């Protein structure tokens, strides 16, 4: 089954629970996630 977000690139600047949870979901569905920590 092809991943739904294959080829999508996401820049994650979140710091609270909902942001990392959401980007983990996107990564599991094929997106490339770049996490920026401050």
Q: What is the CA radius of gyration of the chain?
A: 10
User: Is residue 6 pLDDT above 90, yes or no?
Assistant: yes
According to DSSP, the residues that pair with 9 across neighbouring strands are 32
Rounded to the nearest integer, the mean pLDDT of the chain is 92
Cα distance between residue 10 and residue 23, in whole Å: 8
pLDDT for position 3: 87
Between 22 and 2, residue with greater pLDDT? 22
Burial class (CB in 10 A: 0-12, 13-18, 19+), 16: exposed
Mean pLDDT of the 14-35 span: 92
pLDDT for position 25: 94
């Amino acid at each position: 089954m092809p991943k739904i977000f294959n080829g999508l690139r996401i820049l994650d600047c979140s710091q609270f629970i909902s942001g990392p949870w959401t980007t983990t979901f996107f990564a599991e569905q094929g997106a490339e996630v770049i996490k920026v920590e401050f």
